[in-house]
Structure 1
Amino acid sequence: MSTQHHIVVFEHEILRTDRGAKRITIDQLKSLQAFYGETGVPYYSLVHNGVKFCEYVGVLQIGNTLIEVLPKIDKSLTTSKESWRRVLIDMLHTVGVLKLNAPTSGSLKLKSNSILDLYFEIFINEVKYLLRQGLVKKYRKTEGNRTSLKGNLKFGKHISQNLVHQERFYIQHTTYDTENKLHQILYKAIKLLANINTNESLQGAIQSLLLDFPEMPDIKISDAIFNTLVLNRKTNGYQKAIEIAKLLLLNYHPDVSKGSNNILALMFDMNALWEQFVYTSLRKHKNKGFTITAQNTRNFWKPSNGYNSKMRPDIVLNKGEINCVVLDTKWKNIKNYNPSPQDLRQMFAYMKYYKAKMVALIYPGATFKKTHGHYYDHNEQSPQSISTEECSVISLPHNTNIRDWQKEITFEIEKWIGISYKSETNF
């Protein structure tokens, strides 16, 4: 096992080969360029002698080098990388991407060097738990030459293969054992961990799994194989281990040219994560008199042929009612600038189509800030006429205490809507 080289950057930072306190090697850059390919990847863009990360966060492992990309609302904030890593882990846990509430999670240190190490640790604990419970056995059909006639004789193959070996029988029979698709996937994931892990504290546990887990035949991994899996009462306990195995196996990109700079990409879109986090926070702490829906889709434009264009706001409160409110989340710090014209036009369309009483753009920010502006009256001939239709802009500061942050998000949004609170204990 090689010693891990750990580089921590924040979103929108640049890593180069020729300058900067944090650098990558020319070989690592070539691997990132090859991974980027002609069609590109959403995690970063290519710059001169380096790469520039965008709004995707998580980890990229290249050989024994781990590049960890963390979120950060504002460069001026002095919050440590450990705090931002904790914030990211808590956000992923809150929206259900990283599930830490199972019995096997009780022994987690939760001080791992990166999210990747945390996923490895959860997977190891899950598989250990399955081994302690006893791996599920299933019936499977097998065929081949045997020295005793047990099962169905496959006459054609028996004649072709055993003409001079009359002591053998080519038969098909049913076997009841642990060799099945679930265990083949888990075994392949364990072998992958043994190959790519660079965290010395996890190496012993991974090697123990390799010894304790029954050896399985190799299996070709694709989305299709996971789509065919059906869990039942006996195999429900496999769900988390299979989910992590899928995440790791489908995001692993071996370096076929040299074999030393394999890439594992475990990245999350902060725009999608922020949207889900705000929605989950509102759903958990919202006033009982409100309804809330996410990703509500409506037809927007119908072409003469082909598919309709649709609109899909992030969050709609009280859909279909006179006090309907539409919220759209954007993971970017606009500071003291105005929202983009595209975002404002989008909110205007939402207001019209959903007949919303209020609309707002929800951003992260270094401090809490709430502003609003009015649209010009599109029904008047005078271009200077201001309508009563407005769009608000709400910036919400982060809180390293994730529960308090969720409450603060809900409190500020509902206060903007106009809900009165008896006391903060209502949360």
Structure 2
Amino acid sequence: MCNQDNHIVVFEHEALRFDKGEKRISKPQFDALQKYYGSGVPYFKLIYNGVQFNEYVGVIQIGKTTIEVLPKADKNSNSTIEENKWRDILIGMMRSVGSFNIKSTSSSNLKIKPNSILDLYFEMFINEVEYILHSGLIKKYRKKKGNVLALKGSLQFNKHIQYNLTHQERFYVSHTTYDVVHQLHIILYQAIQLIKQINSNTSLHSRIGSLLLNFPEMPNIKVTESTFNKLIFNRKTEHYKKGIEIAKLLLLQYHPDISKGRNNVLALMFDMNMLWEKFIFKSLLKYKNSQSRITAQTSKYFWKPEKGNRSKMKPDIWIENDGESIILDTKWKNLNGYNPSPDDLRQMYVYHEYYKAQKVALVYPGVKNEKRNGLFLDPVSSNPIDKECGVITIEVDNNIKKWQENISEQFNDWLN
């Protein structure tokens, strides 16, 4: 059953059911997830009386219950120690690739001990809004219509007659005002209200309450993707950017339970394959030599139909080093001593051919550092040919700096 603070921790590919298991969700929570799944979310699949998570990790909050999905690249038991280790690894990886990169002067060390990455996003948002309030809310010009006691702007004659036949001291006008009521503040205010409603970390309660006291009340609008697409930042509003980015993440991923209002769903989930790819790329970039050039997701066209669009291939990491071309493909899975899948190897063979690569390798997480090399075979004779594909397994380490150094060392060892 879920513990007293309504916090359930699972690892990727685990299942949660409402009818059995040490960890369970309730039937209404399953119904909320089932409804959420209907909106096309890829974070889990529906199974009999429950859900099974996939390679997406992060948090899903249903009402007051938080389901935290952590990554895992070993077979150790699912103990509290393991949970803490993998939570630290996930947060460390996200920090290193920029998911927790706060560039404004509010970037202080996060103070709370997080129960999940949701708490970190909440505190980052609070930090940003506190900094904005401390700097002073910017004002903008806006059009305003309504009754005033002095004639200013342009008189809206029809409305004036409609509202003021018996109030000759009033004027219904359209005029320009210069104040803090504008889109940026409306978005921030709605995000503050949202985290007040869904936050369960007592360390943040007073700070959220203080924000609501100090932030001027704003009108309510329906916030959509297009609301954010229309925003334009300039020199005066640049320091709003990070707060708006987090507000966007929270507001657009929040799905209220319209029918009963108890099982609202908020999901902040991240594709572990993409995170692993970015982490390897950032680690190699951090420790590369000056002669190397490292690029991510470099695409090349390889087929054109008689009609229609061309098709392209896109390896994860392309390295040019001393005139050599090296291709790396990252896979977030534990091989457990087995060979890579035929599909992955076929993909590397194509990269070898098309990018004229001297070396290609598949990069996996694992319980120890390991490097294996294999040769592709001639399609006619089945004899080995001079086309090598390496398999590099990187030992996982919750000391992120040490882990990144290790990644660079393992890669350099493989090259030499």
- TM-score of the pair, normalised by structure 1: 0.92
Deviations 1:120-171 (A, max 9, x none): 1111121111111111111111112222101122334334544454332221
Alignment of 1:404 onto 2:402: yes
> In structure 1, what is the equivalent of residue 62 of structure 2?
62
Task: Report the secondary structure of 1:80's partner residue.
Answer: helix
> In structure 2, what is the equivalent of residue 209 of structure 1?
211
Alpha-carbon distance in structure 1 between the residues aligned to 2:132 and 2:9: 34
Task: Report the secondary structure of 2:137's partner residue.
Answer: coil
Alpha-carbon distance in structure 2 between the residues aligned to 1:216 and 1:100: 25
Alignment of structure 1 residues 131-146 onto 2, 5 Å:
131-146=133-148
Unpaired stretches in structure 2, ≥5 consecutive residues = none
Alignment of structure 1 residues 3-402 onto 2, 5 Å:
4-37=5-38, 40-76=40-76, 80-100=82-102, 102-318=104-320, 322-378=323-379, 381-382=380-381, 384-402=382-400
> In structure 2, what is the equivalent of residue 422 of structure 1?
none
Q: Is the 8 A contact 1:322 1:357 kept in 2?
A: no
Deviations 1:329-351 (A, max 9, x none): 01111111111111111111111
Matched letter for residue 299 of structure 2 = T
Matched letter for residue 403 of structure 2 = W
Task: Report the secondary structure of 2:324's partner residue.
Answer: coil
Give the Å deviation of 1:324: 0.3
Alpha-carbon distance in structure 2 between the residues aligned to 1:141 and 1:248: 29
Matched letter for residue 366 of structure 2 = G
Give the Å deviation of 1:29: 0.8
Alpha-carbon distance in structure 2 between the residues aligned to 1:243 and 1:274: 22
Question: Do the aligned partners of residues 51 and 288 (structure 1) sit closer, same or farther apart at CA in structure 2, a change above 3 Å counting?
Answer: same
Alpha-carbon distance in structure 1 between the residues aligned to 2:281 and 2:249: 24
Alpha-carbon distance in structure 1 between the residues aligned to 2:305 and 2:73: 40
Deviations 1:246-277 (A, max 9, x none): 11001001111111000000001000000000
Higher mean C-alpha displacement, 27-36 vs 151-160: 151-160
Q: Is the 8 A contact 2:12 2:55 kept in 1?
A: yes
Alpha-carbon distance in structure 2 between the residues aligned to 1:260 and 1:342: 45
Task: Report the secondary structure of 1:170's partner residue.
Answer: strand
> In structure 2, what is the equivalent of residue 424 of structure 1?
none
Give the Å deviation of 1:200: 2.0
Q: Is the 8 A contact 1:282 1:410 kept in 2?
A: yes
Matched letter for residue 177 of structure 1 = D
Q: Is the 8 A contact 1:4 1:199 kept in 2?
A: no
Q: Is the 8 A contact 1:325 1:357 kept in 2?
A: yes
Give the Å deviation of 1:396: 0.5
Alpha-carbon distance in structure 1 between the residues aligned to 2:367 and 2:50: 29
Matched letter for residue 417 of structure 1 = L
Give the Å deviation of 1:53: 0.9
Q: Is the 8 A contact 2:147 2:173 kept in 1?
A: yes
Q: Is the 8 A contact 2:112 2:203 kept in 1?
A: no
Task: Report the secondary structure of 2:108's partner residue.
Answer: helix
Alpha-carbon distance in structure 1 between the residues aligned to 2:65 and 2:184: 30
Give the Å deviation of 1:322: 4.3
Task: Report the secondary structure of 1:85's partner residue.
Answer: helix
Aligned residues: 411
Alpha-carbon distance in structure 1 between the residues aligned to 2:109 and 2:352: 49
Unpaired stretches in structure 1, ≥5 consecutive residues = 419-427
Question: Do the aligned partners of residues 107 and 275 (structure 1) sit closer, same or farther apart at CA in structure 2, a change above 3 Å counting?
Answer: closer
Alpha-carbon distance in structure 2 between the residues aligned to 1:337 and 1:42: 28
Matched letter for residue 68 of structure 1 = E
Task: Report the secondary structure of 1:242's partner residue.
Answer: helix
Alpha-carbon distance in structure 2 between the residues aligned to 1:159 and 1:400: 71
Deviations 1:154-201 (A, max 9, x none): 334334544454332221111111001000000000111111112222
Q: Is the 8 A contact 1:93 1:100 kept in 2?
A: no
Q: Is the 8 A contact 2:330 2:364 kept in 1?
A: yes
Q: Is the 8 A contact 2:151 2:173 kept in 1?
A: yes
Alpha-carbon distance in structure 1 between the residues aligned to 2:161 and 2:127: 49
Alpha-carbon distance in structure 2 between the residues aligned to 1:145 and 1:40: 47
Alpha-carbon distance in structure 1 between the residues aligned to 2:93 and 2:253: 21
Q: Is the 8 A contact 1:57 1:69 kept in 2?
A: yes
Identity of aligned residues (%): 56
Give the Å deviation of 1:4: 3.8
- TM-score of the pair, normalised by structure 2: 0.95
Question: Do the aligned partners of residues 17 and 415 (structure 1) sit closer, same or farther apart at CA in structure 2, a change above 3 Å counting?
Answer: same
Give the Å deviation of 1:23: 0.8
> In structure 2, what is the equivalent of residue 425 of structure 1?
none
Higher mean C-alpha displacement, 56-65 vs 150-159: 150-159
Matched letter for residue 131 of structure 1 = L
**RMSD of aligned C-alpha atoms?**
1.7
Alpha-carbon distance in structure 2 between the residues aligned to 1:110 and 1:399: 23
Alpha-carbon distance in structure 1 between the residues aligned to 2:49 and 2:365: 31
